[in-house]
Amino acid sequence: MPAISALLRPRPLVLTLCSALLATAVAAPSALADPTDQGRSWKVTGPPGSPTAVVALDPTDGHPSLAVRRGDRTVLEPSPVGLVTERADFSKGLTFTGRTDRAVAESYTSTTGKSERRVALMTESRFRFRTASGARVDLLTRVARDGVAYRYVIPRDQGDVLRETSAFTLPAGSDAVIGKYRADNELPFVRYASATEPPAGSYSMQALFNTPGGRALIAESDLNGTYSGAHLTHEAGSSTYKVGLWNDEPVQVEEGSGLTTPWRAVITGDLATVTQSTFVDDLAPPSRVRDTSWIKPGPALWTWLAGGKEAGQSLDAQKKYVDYAAERGWPYEVVDAGWYFKPGEWEVIDPEWQTKNWMPELVRYGAAKGVKIQVWLHYTLLTDPVEREKWLSTLERWGVTGVKIDFMDSESQERMRWYDDVLEATARHHLMVNFHGSTIPKGMQRTWPQVLTFEGVGGEEKRTNTAEHLASLPFTRNVIGSMDFTPGAFHRPYRPNVASDAGELGLTVLYESGIQNLAGTPESYDARPEARRYLEQLPARWEQTRLLTGDPGRAAVLARQAPDGRWFIGGTFAGAARTVDVPVRLGAGRWLVETVTDGPSGLVRTPHAVRAGDDLAVPVVADGGFAAVACRWHPGRTTCES
């Protein structure tokens, strides 16, 4: 086994400037503010086109706030910032002691997500405050073209964090697309005409608002075991959404240590800017995995919704799924729950699973056909360090390439520490990861690129999803990071687009996931040859993503570019049947666009020759959608199939 130091890159103490952006970084302001400055508000501006953050200190009681503006329009009203520890109250009575500014310029690549190559340009300002008793806190802010973020830095010996006073106050006239908070992050998103309208309660930290100054998506980044996960709390009729911590439990800080909290972020701009943003990843620490050559995304045949627990306990059934994946050219087959239980005893782990299990045989069978195996694990198998090492080292020795870890159902500090341990261990054992019953990405995929996807979404397994929920996800949950919705389950009678096979097909592109777990049965694919043909063409990753048109909760059409230059397009719509006009914003010149839509007798594939900037008229059924693929047009070309 390679040494840990050869596999993991230690977290850098400073941010690295990419050479192409060095001049920008050097030119940025870097100055220490005069501590005697009597000003009560300070602006932070970023690269051209960025919003402006305004940090202020109330002259009456010394409470700090932060506002966000675009030009003369308000994205976020002055909103409380601060936190309270065992030994200090950093939410009021503060005095400003100084400010320093610097530029942050980074370039990096991502194994998953909306784009492979990323460039992050941000202005960072550190505001220093102290209490009347001399306790110090820094408010670290960053402003980028697509967002504003802040976090707190506390010197050592301030005790545990009891609560945050962080909040987001929306201006009048804002609407909302938000979902109630639950530990597994799987509740549906709902659209409200006003940000004051949602009932009192807790909401997920991925709420989208349409404000007079542009869209604003609340998010969190760089969450790890030094802190607990956050959610939003809201009182009926209020335009303020407060930050709440897990079960209102104190965040434990090691005695003698300081603390840097996760980022509180507002992704902002027009709808396309927010949808295409990588701001959450940009804020996160760089990759800790030195060699990422073994991390390979791609489509998978997922057998749970296709065959259930019986398939999980059957080698013969799994071999048939491997055969089908090989015929389609899909690189992975995912074996879900049941494979390590005693045959016929669903709740009893076979004590001889290491020596008698059929998984090594399945791995060998798949390897001969070019299909690699990923397996499901209950998270409790990985809580004890000795047991965790036994399970992961065995899977690595067998040749299993990935693990789907399930049922964490918590964002407590203790559970986030578990994530830290599992992330290090899976990287060391060269195992790709899909977290289910989980937190949402929050930058983790940049720091630990072996994490190809998360659930944290009301996905295909749910029986209560709505068309509105489907049309909300590209603008909320999937902005944050990869999302294992598990689309393609044509055989499921519970899906909200049950009358639209084309809409179900389009979800495989509309929703980004490093491992796109296709949830249908082989029989359902064979009964829909146009869907099968489309799914066989899905690439392993995306070069870039563009929003073509959308209205959160009502419509979403995204185009994603494959490495070979083709664009795949997915669209979903809530409401009545209609013909929709989709702008072709893929690049200059002429394009051949093959649409797959619902016809009276099944799916219909239709070629269209269009010019850049044209609108493509696409018929959709009620609560339906479509799929498409586009390639460069030339005389005589009738298909984009490579």
Residues annotated as part of the active site: 406, 461
Question: C-alpha angle 187/191/197, rounded to 5°?
Answer: 100
From 139, 272, 154, select the one nearest 214 (Cα to Cα): 272
Spatial distance between the Cα atoms of 250 and 159, rounded to a whole number of angstroms:
10
* CA 552 to mean position of chain CA atoms: 17
Classify residue 360 as exposed, middle or buried by CB count within 10 Å of its CB (0-12, 13-18, 19+): middle
Residue 317 region by backbone torsions, left for phi larger than 0, else alpha for psi between -120 and 50, else beta? alpha
Q: How far is CA 529 from CA 271, 449, 534, in A?
A: 35, 34, 9
Are 138 and 152 in contact by the 8 Å Cβ rule? The answer is yes
Place of tokens 């109330």: 58
From 470, 529, 519, select the one nearest 490 (Cα to Cα): 519
Non-local (6+) Cβ contacts of 362 within 8 A are: 315, 318, 319, 322, 335, 373
Which two three-digit tokens encode residue 530?
A: 């146009």
DSSP H/E element including 322: helix 315-328
* CA 581 to mean position of chain CA atoms: 28
* AA letter at 372: K
Spatial distance between the Cα atoms of 281 and 304, rounded to a whole number of angstroms:
30
Spatial distance between the Cα atoms of 570 and 582, rounded to a whole number of angstroms:
11
Spatial distance between the Cα atoms of 462 and 588, rounded to a whole number of angstroms:
41
Which two three-digit tokens encode residue 69?
A: 């503006």
10 Å Cβ neighbour count for 12? Answer: 10
Please, what is the end-to-end C-alpha distance for the chain in angstroms? 40
Spatial distance between the Cα atoms of 286 and 449, rounded to a whole number of angstroms:
10
Query: Helices (DSSP H) in 21-145: which residue ranges?
Result: 22-27
Question: C-alpha angle 632/638/642, rounded to 5°?
Answer: 65
Are 572 and 472 in contact by the 8 Å Cβ rule? The answer is no
Place of tokens 């996905």: 459
* AA letter at 285: P
Spatial distance between the Cα atoms of 432 and 428, rounded to a whole number of angstroms:
10
Spatial distance between the Cα atoms of 578 and 534, rounded to a whole number of angstroms:
23
* Phi, psi at 520, each rounded to 5°: -85, 170
Spatial distance between the Cα atoms of 584 and 579, rounded to a whole number of angstroms:
15
Are 113 and 481 in contact by the 8 Å Cβ rule? The answer is yes
Residue 614 region by backbone torsions, left for phi larger than 0, else alpha for psi between -120 and 50, else beta? beta
Q: How far is CA 500 from CA 213, 536, 582, 604, 622, in A?
A: 36, 20, 18, 12, 8
Q: Are strands 83-85 and 73-80 parallel, antiparallel or unpaired?
A: unpaired
